[in-house]
Structure 1
Amino acid sequence: MRPTKLTRWRNVWLAGFAAVAMAVIAIRLVLIQVSQAASLDQYEASFQLKRIVLPAARGEIIDRNGEVLAMDVPRYQVVAAPRYVTNPRLAARELARVLPFSRARLYSVLNDHSWYALLASSVSPATASAVNQLNLPGITTVPVTGRIYPDGTLASQVLGMVGVNDQGLAGIEYADNRILSGTPGYWTVRIDGYGQPLPQWQQAYTAPKAGDTVQLTIDANIEAVAQKWLKWGIQRAHASNGTVIIMNVHTGAILALANWPNFNPNHYQNATPLEMTDYAVEDPFPPGSIFKPVTAAAALALGLYTPNSLFYTRGYKIVDGVRINDWQPQGWGWITLTRGLEVSSDQVFMDVALKLGVSSLYHFVKLFGFDHPSNVGLPGDSNGLWIPANAVNAVDLATMGFGQGFAATAMQVIAADNAIANNGVMVQPHIVKAILNANGQVIHRTPVVVESRPISAAVAHEVQHMMVLEATQGTGVPAQVPGYIIAGKTGTAQKIVNGRTSNSQFVASYLGYGPMPHPRFIMLVAINHPVGSLFYGDQVSAPVWEKIATFLFHYWQIKPYATPDNGSAPGPVP
């Protein structure tokens, strides 16, 4: 069908109109680019890319049985855009009903006409809901995460805490911060000149990856009992602080590490330095007589003495013109090395140390791990304090034999004495059992690390026998648990105050393991600065050891020696 004349004119008219319109647009674009170029450049510059960090959920800390000790929970920030708050006085009054801030403080923030203000950094979901229900213009909530410790003060120095920037500040939270913190995500957006995101200009999004879970070797049930009786013992002796360490003899796994006083990591801002100190690894002290098994083991290993070697004790010893008193002023007369350990004769171990000499004593000090931190896996792990070998005189050497004149941490001491309990094999203590991913799969398991074999099994058995006698008929009788055979050693060390040995400040301790002859655990109770009539290790720390050990024997269902297997079957190791 041929187009009519009217149709041809209409097409011409439309084409002409389109041509004119295109010309107008082209001219307009030229004018804009030439005359308004500077203003357009300024407008474009007002839009910038901004990368918003999306924090990752922090991994949990759990005990050896899977009980959660530290976890992230949903929390919210309360934020405001004061410029859009229509009635600051009303908003402040309403918010003061649900937030822990005064009306005046909130009003001062909401009345400054700024673009952004953080009203509360971490509130519960219930509080966030209450804020949202107020329907206040310019006020909203933003989901974040918060760290909580469900058991409060339980193992607080071990766990540590997390700061406002989600960084670990102490304990495992600090030591394993990289594992727990995960990988943050990012959201890259364009923002306008006022710093506000433009959602339609989202450039890229990378999801955050949650941190891994750290599983500890600690058993929360044992930890709670250890804390309970440690507190009891410290208050009973009017002492300042103390620690209890319980370790698997064969693997070095720390089953409990209790300190008192402690703190609540949910409110760590209120804690004192003493409450936050991990006494087990951070605070070296003279171990006193709990070091004597190491001295005895060294002498036996070198063949200098036998368990039946005789010593004459008079209650003191003169070394280079210096009188060093035994704790028993009248002495015991002629006694064997075994009896010397039983009654904890300082004079016997002065003789042994002087016979060993500096070189041999320091050789065994190194073999027993006193030359380095315990490497248990906690921050603040101290190296202890020793006189350089070339500066040790005879008086120093004599006092070192019974655990004075140097300082070691409780963790170093229990690791060293554990080599005796473990038939001469020294294992490295550790407090992390495994690392688990977000799906609960084990991605790393802490291996048992054998540090050295400082003594033979035969020598270890000799010292074990001496320590059994100490616990059954010597100074350690108060630690005895009816129905079970244990090995142990009391300690009452004089503290160093202002560079001098104090006659009034002590560290009372008891170290023991059992049941014999196949010990399942070793435990050290150290109580610092008891005040009053109770200050010896057998008075202060041995009763605490007995109460915790009684629980352990029942908790692990270890049979007493009166049963047919005589309590010696090894059984499953915790």
Structure 2
Amino acid sequence: MASSDSSSNSKLRRRYLKRKQAEKFSSHLKNQRYQDEIYSVRNNDHKLASTPPDENSEKCRTSRLYQVWVLLMLGLVVLITNLFRLQILQGKELQKLAQKQHTIESNPFIPRRPIVDRNGNLLAIDQIAYTLYAHPKIFNRQKQEVANKLSTVLEGASLKKNLTSNDLLQMFHQRETGIKIVEYIPQETANKITDLFIDGLELIQHSQRLYPQKELVAEIVGYVDGESKGQAGIEYSQQNLLERSMGAIKFRRLIKGVLVPDKLTRGFLQLDDLSLHLTIDSPLQRSVRAILQKQLEKYDAKRGTVIVMDATDGSILSLVSEPSYNPNKYYNYDVTLFKNWAVTDVYEPGSTFKPINVALALEVGAIEEDSVFYDTGRIRFDRWSIFNSGGGGGARTVTQIIQHSSNIGMVKIVEEMPRAVFYDGLKRLELDSITGTDLPFEAANILKGRNQFLMVPVEAATTAFGQGFSLTPLKLAQLHAALANGGKLVTPHVVRGLFDSKKQPYWQLPMREPKQVFSVDTTRKVLAMMEKVVESGTGKRARLRGYRIAGKTGTAQKASDTGGYSDDARITSFVGILPMESPRYVVLAVIDEPIKGTGGKVAAPVVKSVIKSLINIEQIPPSSIRSK
């Protein structure tokens, strides 16, 4: 048993050893294979690294380099193109833009030239004024105290608006800074505000147009707005003469934003001493306004105007339109007052036009000064009836027709002329155009068309006594000036020109050549007829002892808004010419819608009073002295 067991163990041991050897050999074989694989990989890598690139790899690299080169070239082309555009094509423009960013142009405020009358009396001038701003956040006193003290100071100043302490307090509560309180504060009031020593009240200086004479010449001079631009009168029509010309000043911006003047020329701020001289006489203007205001009040009239013209050249010595306004406070008035209705409105002149029609008839030889016509008192044209206010007068000379203002007599005088000749005469007087005055917004006169005038008989008939057409008061004054100066149509004007401080002319108003519309003989005959009107006719209330005056009354119905003529509304007028020995002055008064009265009763006394003032100012001697 023992031997058998031993033999069995020996076999088992040998098997164990063989298994171990087999496992060891297998492990060695695996290690050998692993090393061989590593060697093979390393050997292959070495072969790959040492092998030269193939043809495809070379083409790929070349393609990439070419693409990079093309992109670089395109970028260079774009860069050169932009440089060419910026430096060559847009260089000057960009340079200007750069300069503009670093420079600022500013137009300095230059005062407007003064306006004076023919005697040098000041009518308009620029002065220093202030605008007040409040900054409540830096007040050094209570808001209520500031409001109380400031309202007391502002109360005594003539300002656009009256501000109470409560008004100011409400404004102070609007915001903390930059509150605009009031404009156009005069220097005296500005000094009082400064003397309050209140922090947070800021005064900004600016210029203001001052009209020392207030309403006196408002209809002539006009006014300027807050931007110093003329809005009416001479301030508007002569804007170019009143504005001083000066180029803009350039300021250069420094690094820190500070502005300094750039390239200033010597004396760039020196102002000329020129002023605009008018033909207006202020003392006469003041007298005329007082006379007109009194008469308008007496007859409760809607409005009125008076014109005093020198017939030799058309210069206007006085032109008053009522009601008027104060140009220093234009903002307080209705805009309808800003127009000068003697220039801007037309009306039917009525009988004041009769001497003009007589002159036309005399000029063409249709009548003689001693021609006689039978005044029936009434005449009919189809459905229209024309009549005299005082009935018929029987046989009357041309002088008597003018003296008593006969409508029927005038119709018969005009009928002596062919209608075409009459119409051409009216056209020659420029009744369908304007006078060409230097005052702005002149209305064109209105005359019926030629065909209507020639085809409808009543048109010539109504024109004979001053109805059926319209003109401005200024045009009527111009026509009567032609009767006074020997038949010349002169241009009405108020501007003399620009004069320096030594009264030497710098520029004078160019005047058109006067147009001869009547002969001297015709005007002499018509003036003699008009003198009879004042001596013993409808214009007796204009008679003045010691002076020979020619004149003509006018009382015309006003056109109704619904057509035809109003039964109640009338416009009365009177025109006077003096002195008869050497006619020079034309005085026209027009009173619109008086409650009662005629031209002889309402307007003639106005002209008489104005003539008295004119005689005193112009030192016109009495006729008895002139005749010696």
Q: What band does the TM-score fall into relative to the shorter chain?
A: 0.7 to 0.9
CA–CA separation in structure 1 for the residues paired with 2:213 and 2:566: 38
| Candidates 412, 424, 433, aligned match of 1:351 | 412
Confirm or deny: 8 A CA contact 1:57 1:210 kept in the other structure: no
| Candidates 153, 156, 163, aligned match of 1:98 | 153
| TM-fit CA distance, 1:226 | 1.0
For the structure 1 residues 234 and 303, does the alpha-carbon distance in structure 2 shift closer, same or farther, using more than 3 Å as the test? same
CA–CA separation in structure 1 for the residues paired with 2:164 and 2:106: 31
Matched, 1:422 2:485: yes
Consecutive unaligned residues of structure 1, counting only runs of 5 or more, are 1-43, 568-574
| Candidates 355, 364, 367, aligned match of 1:293 | 355
Paired letter, 1:350: V
Confirm or deny: 8 A CA contact 1:56 1:208 kept in the other structure: no
TM-score for the superposition, normalised by structure 2: 0.76
CA–CA separation in structure 1 for the residues paired with 2:276 and 2:514: 24
CA–CA separation in structure 1 for the residues paired with 2:107 and 2:193: 25
Paired letter, 1:292: K
What's the counterpart of residue 75 of structure 1? 129
Residues 334-381 of structure 1, C-alpha deviation per residue, up to 9 Å, x if partnerless? 111121111111011112223324322222222223222122211121
Confirm or deny: 8 A CA contact 1:369 1:416 kept in the other structure: no
| TM-fit CA distance, 1:255 | 0.6
| TM-fit CA distance, 1:431 | 0.9
What's the counterpart of residue 578 of structure 2? 514
Mean Cα deviation higher: 288-297 or 53-62: 53-62
What's the counterpart of residue 340 of structure 1? 401
Paired letter, 1:494: Q
Residues 234-253 of structure 1, C-alpha deviation per residue, up to 9 Å, x if partnerless? 22222111110001121111
CA–CA separation in structure 2 for the residues paired with 1:52 and 1:204: 13
Matched, 1:402 2:465: yes
Confirm or deny: 8 A CA contact 2:254 2:260 kept in the other structure: no
CA–CA separation in structure 2 for the residues paired with 1:185 and 1:139: 34
Confirm or deny: 8 A CA contact 2:367 2:416 kept in the other structure: no
- Structure 1 or 2, whichever has the larger Rg, is 2
| Candidates 474, 486, 494, aligned match of 2:549 | 486
What's the counterpart of residue 619 of structure 2? 557
Three-state SS of the structure 2 residue aligned to 1:443 is strand
Confirm or deny: 8 A CA contact 1:369 1:412 kept in the other structure: no
| TM-fit CA distance, 1:105 | 5.2
Cα RMSD for the two superposed structures: 2.8
| TM-fit CA distance, 1:267 | 1.3
For the structure 1 residues 514 and 412, does the alpha-carbon distance in structure 2 shift closer, same or farther, using more than 3 Å as the test? same
What's the counterpart of residue 470 of structure 1? 533
| Candidates 147, 153, 163, aligned match of 2:209 | 147
| TM-fit CA distance, 1:410 | 0.5
| Candidates 563, 566, 569, aligned match of 2:627 | 566
What's the counterpart of residue 372 of structure 1? 433
CA–CA separation in structure 2 for the residues paired with 1:124 and 1:327: 58
CA–CA separation in structure 1 for the residues paired with 2:422 and 2:203: 65
Spell out the pairing of 1:2-17 with structure 2 (5 A cutoff): none
Residues 209-233 of structure 1, C-alpha deviation per residue, up to 9 Å, x if partnerless? 5695221111011111111111122
CA–CA separation in structure 1 for the residues paired with 2:152 and 2:258: 33
Matched, 1:230 2:286: no
Residues 419-467 of structure 1, C-alpha deviation per residue, up to 9 Å, x if partnerless? 1111112211111112225775421123554331111111111111111
CA–CA separation in structure 2 for the residues paired with 1:128 and 1:484: 55
| Candidates 446, 456, 460, aligned match of 1:385 | 446
Matched, 1:264 2:326: yes
Three-state SS of the structure 2 residue aligned to 1:510 is strand
What's the counterpart of residue 57 of structure 1? 111
For the structure 1 residues 94 and 53, does the alpha-carbon distance in structure 2 shift closer, same or farther, using more than 3 Å as the test? farther
What's the counterpart of residue 156 of structure 1? 218
Three-state SS of the structure 2 residue aligned to 1:98 is helix
For the structure 1 residues 51 and 138, does the alpha-carbon distance in structure 2 shift closer, same or farther, using more than 3 Å as the test? farther
Mean Cα deviation higher: 499-508 or 435-444: 435-444
CA–CA separation in structure 1 for the residues paired with 2:147 and 2:566: 59
Matched, 1:545 2:607: yes
| TM-fit CA distance, 1:97 | 4.0
CA–CA separation in structure 2 for the residues paired with 1:115 and 1:149: 34
Confirm or deny: 8 A CA contact 2:130 2:187 kept in the other structure: yes
Three-state SS of the structure 2 residue aligned to 1:386 is coil
For the structure 1 residues 187 and 76, does the alpha-carbon distance in structure 2 shift closer, same or farther, using more than 3 Å as the test? farther
Mean Cα deviation higher: 496-505 or 158-167: 496-505
Confirm or deny: 8 A CA contact 2:581 2:623 kept in the other structure: no
What's the counterpart of residue 27 of structure 1? none
What's the counterpart of residue 67 of structure 2? none
Residues 10-60 of structure 1, C-alpha deviation per residue, up to 9 Å, x if partnerless? xxxxxxxxxxxxxxxxxxxxxxxxxxxxxxxxxx99x96544442211111
| TM-fit CA distance, 1:411 | 0.5
Provide the identity percentage. 28
Three-state SS of the structure 1 residue aligned to 2:184 is strand
Consecutive unaligned residues of structure 2, counting only runs of 5 or more, are 1-97, 155-161
CA–CA separation in structure 1 for the residues paired with 2:126 and 2:375: 61
| Candidates 501, 508, 524, aligned match of 1:445 | 508
CA–CA separation in structure 1 for the residues paired with 2:611 and 2:259: 66
CA–CA separation in structure 2 for the residues paired with 1:554 and 1:109: 55
